[in-house]
Amino acid sequence: MHPLNPADCFTLVVDREIRKQRLPGNLCAFVVELDSMPNIDAMQQRITAFGKDNPICTATLEKRGRRYYWNESANRSLNLQLHRSEDDQEQAINGLESLARILNCNETNSLQIPLQFHLIPHQQSWLFAMLWLHPLCDAKGAELILTHLCKAPSSNHNMAPDRNNTPPLDRYLASWPWWKKILMFHKANRYIRKQLDTQISIQPGKTVDQSVPLELKFKIVRLGTDRSAEIDALARKHMGIAGITLYPIACLMRAIEKTGPLQPGEAYCFPHAFNLRKRKAQSPIFGNQVSFLFAQASRSQVKDRRQLFDHLKRQYTQAIRDQLDLAFIPLLLAGSWLSHDRYAKVVRQSAPGIERASCWFSDIGETEISQRDFFGSRITGMFNLCQITSPPGLCLLISRFDDELTLVYNYLSPQISDQWLDRLVQNMENELTEQTV
């Protein structure tokens, strides 16, 4: 039995909130694009070996008292699910449509195996999709799974943390005396009451009746190496050391404002994960190792590009100076003892009872996979997907591969329409490249 850490408990609450919307839960996907069909037998052998070395991959979630645990089972194994068309015309298949059906199918989680692998034909190429239930790990952990799958068959695939490599979240909680935990708890709680919840957050999508079924859709935008380099230079110029994250957040706030949010509000509020791992960390793999930061700006600040940049920089600098990235860890610990419904209300709703987040945002960073050969195929690209709660019904995931920026807009239809999303995408590209009027 493996207990969930406080960040895992948070993502489990999000899973339950998404399931209430009749969607499959807090599913995420790491998708690898391949130039040809890989060696399926070799891939299955590697996946099977990985599952045996890491039995938590096939564990089930069980509740003991007020806590949840991963319960390992020797009777379950990891398998590669190969998708083909009925007439076996792989080149005619739109693999993205197949992937969307998998992510929207409630049967995807029917076996409750928290890690799944799918190989999907896509026109003249193939998609290898690794789906995971978010309480299992975060995006960095998923990337490390993929890295280990790429290793030689003789490699050790056991990725459990050892005693010399304590998970960073556990390390913080173990090293702080009780009085510091209480101090940090009150610091984060005061920040929420005195600053974060003083303005009603804008919601980009329209209100949808709960009886209307929701469907996750996504739009992938690749910006090319030249434009990606241009955007990175603009980020450093305008936002300094924090530019990689803050610059696209600022541009997205302005893009939503220009597109026209469909519900009124006073400010934009974007929660984004803060990875507690050191760069190049190889473990731990299982368990989320994140805390949270918030980017918030009023509508008047958003309308002035220069003012918005300066405001978000000051806000970020103050948050790091006050250790708010770490102060939320005791809040996560306290929340892990609450019921799911109560915790969800605390997490999602501000003091007036309004949805706190205007949009989900995550900059996953550079994919650090040095090996381009993938079971006899060549990796040509990567992107990430995720389910989301309604509201806000919109999430932007940003990643980098081979010096190219990839933006993936995950959105819930009909809360957000395809036409509105298309206008947002164009406005976002204009903002990122400073082609604004």
In a domain, 349, yes or no: yes
Q: What is the mean pLDDT of residues 81-93?
A: 65
Q: What is the mean pLDDT of residues 255-274?
A: 94
**Tokens, residue 290:** 């994140």
Is the CB of residue 259 less than 8 Å from the CB of residue 423? yes
- Binning pLDDT at 50, 70 and 90, where does residue 153 land? low
Amino acid (one-letter) located at 47: I
Question: Could you read off the pLDDT of 203-256 as tens digits, one per residue?
Answer: 999 988 888 999 999 999 999 999 999 999 999 999 998 899 999 999 999 999
Does residue 163 register a pLDDT over 80? no
Amino acid (one-letter) located at 64: R
Q: What is the mean pLDDT of residues 42-53?
A: 91
Question: Could you read off the pLDDT of 308-320 as tens digits, one per residue?
Answer: 999 999 999 999 9
Please calculate the CA angle 125-130-135 and round it to the nearest 5 degrees: 160
Verify that 182 and 134 share a domain, yes or no: no
Verify that 341 and 193 share a domain, yes or no: yes
User: What are the DSSP calls for 369-431, one per residue?
Assistant: ----EETTEEEEEEEEEE---TTT-EEEEEEEETTEEEEEEEEEETTS-HHHHHHHHHHHHHH
When divided into structural domains, the chain yields a total of 2
In a domain, 161, yes or no: no
In a domain, 378, yes or no: no
**At 216, which CATH number?**
3.30.559.30
In this predicted structure, what is the pLDDT of residue 108? 57
Q: Is the peptide bond before 391 cis (omega within 30 degrees of 0)?
A: yes
In a domain, 417, yes or no: yes
**Residue that is last in its domain, among 97, 121, 149:** 149
Question: Could you read off the pLDDT of 370-408 as tens digits, one per residue?
Answer: 667 889 999 999 999 999 999 999 999 999 998 999 999
Kind and range of the H or E element at 175? helix 168-175
Please enumerate in sequence order all residues whose Cβ is within 8 A of that of 33, keeping only pairs 6 or more positions apart, or say none: 122, 125, 126, 127, 379, 380, 381, 382, 383
Is the CB of residue 150 less than 8 Å from the CB of residue 36? no
Verify that 256 and 395 share a domain, yes or no: yes
Strand-pair partners of 118:
81, 129
Verify that 194 and 140 share a domain, yes or no: no
**At 34, which CATH number?**
3.30.559.10
Verify that 145 and 227 share a domain, yes or no: no
Query: 140: domain range?
Result: 2-149
Verify that 196 and 341 share a domain, yes or no: yes
Verify that 313 and 176 share a domain, yes or no: yes
Please tell me whether the overall predicted TM-score, pTM, comes out greater than 0.85 for this model: yes
Length of the chain: 437
In this predicted structure, what is the pLDDT of residue 164? 58
Verify that 279 and 318 share a domain, yes or no: yes
Verify that 142 and 175 share a domain, yes or no: no
In a domain, 22, yes or no: yes
Verify that 211 and 118 share a domain, yes or no: no
Is the CB of residue 194 less than 8 Å from the CB of residue 343? no
- Binning pLDDT at 50, 70 and 90, where does residue 5 land? very high
In a domain, 192, yes or no: yes
Strands 373-374 and 377-386: antiparallel
Does residue 329 register a pLDDT over 80? yes
In a domain, 154, yes or no: no
Verify that 145 and 174 share a domain, yes or no: no
- Work out the mean pLDDT of the chain and round it to a whole number: 90
**Residue that is last in its domain, among 83, 114, 149:** 149
Is the CB of residue 8 less than 8 Å from the CB of residue 138? no
Does residue 151 register a pLDDT over 80? no
For the ranges 221-230, 364-373, 414-423, which has the lowest average pLDDT?
A: 364-373
In a domain, 43, yes or no: yes
Verify that 77 and 139 share a domain, yes or no: yes
**Residue that is last in its domain, among 114, 149, 184:** 149
Please enumerate in sequence order all residues whose Cβ is within 8 A of that of 110, keeping only pairs 6 or more positions apart, or say none: none
Is the CB of residue 165 less than 8 Å from the CB of residue 230? no
Question: Could you read off the pLDDT of 14-24 as tens digits, one per residue?
Answer: 999 999 999 99
